[in-house]
Amino acid sequence: MAYLDSMVQKCASLSHIKQLQAHFITTGQFLFCPSRTKLLELCAVSPAGDLSYATLIFRQIQNPSTEDWNAVVRGLASGPEPTKAISWYRTMSRWSQRMDALTCSFALKACARGLARSEAMQIHSQIVCFGFYADFLLKTTLLDVYAKAGDLDCAEKVFDEMGVRDIASWNALIAGLAQGSRPGKALSLFKRMTVEGWKPNEVTVLGALSACSQLGVVKEGEKIHGYIMEEKLDMNVIVCNAVIDMYAKCGFVNKAYRVFEHMFCRKSLVTWNTMIMAFAMYGDACKALELFEQMGRASVHPDAVSYLAVLCACNHAGLVEDGVRLFDSMAGSGINPNVKHYGSVVDLLGRAGRLKEAYDIINSMPMFPDVVLWQSLLGASKTYGNVEMAEIASRKLVEMGSNSCGDFVLLSNVYAARERWNDVGRVREAMKNRDVKKIPGFSYIEVDGVIHKFVNGDQSHSNWRDIYAKLDEIKFRIKAYGYVAETNFVLHDIGQEEKENVLCYHSEKLAVAFGLISTRKLSCEIELDFTDLKKVAVHCFKSVGN
């Protein structure tokens, strides 16, 4: 066996493997399972191997053993097409070949990589039938499959059935819950893990930070950050990136930047991109542009994500010239703009009223424009009342098969602003013929841990009278500062006062008003100054009614 291991270790290329195969055949060792399996493993799993050649060798075996099958299934499960491993697993079962726990483990890993949930469930039932379910490592692999495939109920069930757990099993479920839109459960499981005496590692905190980001619970995120620093996990750049992202998504961009500035480990491209996007989302375009320039001085070359982040920053701040300059510079940096970059610059130009330039850019794209690009142009056409451009964008959307109610409503808004009520009626008739129904818009607000939902003109809330009174108060006070309702886009051919009422009781405004009356104790202590009131007015009273 030592002689065999020595020969296998010397194989550094496929030609060496073929020489070893020839040696086994001429000496008769190919007939013996250990030698043959070693050769298959070498060919199927090692960097020097070749999966297709491994399957060719396998087909030369008259009576393959379980170990022979396992070698090929393992190689395929790790290869570029993991679902092929599942096919081999099925073929193996049809041959009535005795499977062992390793066979099932390799097949499950293929299911995890291929997100093959139904196939994993079939293998799960076979594991129970074969009597392998007591195998701790197999249960951990099964849990990982369900978590990655999104079947979180089954993942939790397997976890609860585990008599013994290890840090892989905890991490698999925490990550699965965080990625599967169950961040609350992920965070609860993280806390339970620490209570039971387990020590979270880098993988654990990544899942927990993701949950904090989704929930916006910065206090919990700060606790996890404290643990990361205590355990020196901040030497891992991926963990630092997750901390930055968590603070940014929770709205604390300054804390995110402090982490960015004081990192002990070397910043990666992802680190720079995460921080630039954080400033972009926060609306600090100057800081985003400054960081983008710093990247070059730090010898970090921006990629497509870097450019998208800084373009978003320009978009949010209305820095048209900077955005166009950066977009034009991409080609010189060796980066071909993708449809998202085109979408960002089209939106930027559209918001600035430069509709013709936006339209020309769409027409100059080397790839086929998607629905979002034409919707951006349509939205900008509505904002600036450009009927001709709105009709072009709307026609393109119809040609592309878009049946979104929003597209029809935007075109209706353009016609309504010009009081072209016949055209509004024609659009409404087209919606009816296409069976397109306008879905009422709604807004959410969380107060004291309870989610409240509002729709346009909502009077179903128990506090609706107080909410309406607060809105009337805000409307009265901001009119003193010169606010005028933008009633042009209200679709109904009704009087001015009725139009203002339609806009006033927009779902978003109802939600914000409820938030204001729900925090009345705080607002009694801190009187809103002119700047604060202006911010509320801009946020609440510039949107168009649903």
Q: Point out which residues pair with 446 in neighbouring strands.
A: 451
The tokens describing 529, both together, are 């100054």
CATH architecture assigned to 165-266: Alpha Horseshoe (1.25)
Question: Would you list the domain boundaries of the chain?
Answer: 165-266, 453-541
pLDDT at 52: 87
pLDDT at 511: 86
Residues 210 and 221: their CA atoms lie apart, in Å, by: 9
At 62-95, the pLDDT tens digits run 888 899 999 999 999 998 999 999 999 999 988 7
Residues 75 and 44: their CA atoms lie apart, in Å, by: 5
pLDDT at 528: 40
The length of the chain is 546
Is the per-residue pLDDT at 463 higher than 90?
A: no
The tokens describing 343, both together, are 């979408």
Torsion-angle region of residue 131: left (phi > 0), alpha (psi -120 to 50) or beta? left
pLDDT at 164: 84
Judge contact between 141 and 74, C-beta under 8 A.
no
Judge contact between 104 and 126, C-beta under 8 A.
yes
At 390-445, the pLDDT tens digits run 999 988 888 888 777 778 888 888 888 887 888 888 888 888 777 776 666 778 77
Write down the pTM of the prediction.
0.76
Mean pLDDT of the chain: 84
Among 210-224, 337-351, 483-497, the range scoring the smallest mean pLDDT is 483-497
pLDDT at 240: 97
Residues 287 and 293: their CA atoms lie apart, in Å, by: 10
At 12-49, the pLDDT tens digits run 677 777 777 787 788 777 777 777 788 888 888 877 77
At 270-301, the pLDDT tens digits run 999 999 999 998 889 999 999 999 998 999 99
Residues 177 and 151: their CA atoms lie apart, in Å, by: 10
pLDDT at 279: 95
Helix (H, G, I), strand (E, B) or coil at 310: helix
At 160-213, the pLDDT tens digits run 999 888 998 999 999 999 998 899 999 999 999 999 999 999 999 999 999 999
Give the residue, 254 or 63, on which the prediction is more confident.
254
Helix (H, G, I), strand (E, B) or coil at 180: coil
Q: Mean pLDDT over residues 121-127, rounded? A: 93
Judge contact between 170 and 188, C-beta under 8 A.
no
Q: Mean pLDDT over residues 217-243, rounded? A: 95
Find all residues with CB under 8 Å of 241, minimum gap 6, and list them.
Answer: 268, 270, 271, 274
At 471-514, the pLDDT tens digits run 888 888 887 777 666 655 454 444 444 444 555 677 888 888 88
Q: What would the 3-class secondary structure string for 131-159 be?
A: CCCCCHHHHHHHHHHHHHHCCHHHHHHHH
- Pairing relation of β-strands 450-455 and 442-447? antiparallel
Angle at the Cα of 116 (from 89 to 135), degrees rounded to 5? 60
Is the per-residue pLDDT at 244 higher than 80?
A: yes
Q: Please give the C-alpha separations between residue 148 and each of 109, 115, 127, in angstroms, as whole numbers.
A: 11, 7, 19
At 528-544, the pLDDT tens digits run 443 444 444 434 433 33
Residues 201 and 217: their CA atoms lie apart, in Å, by: 21
Other Cβ atoms less than 10 A from the Cβ of 23: the count is: 14
Q: Point out which residues pair with 455 in neighbouring strands.
A: 442
Residues 306 and 501: their CA atoms lie apart, in Å, by: 44
Judge contact between 324 and 350, C-beta under 8 A.
no
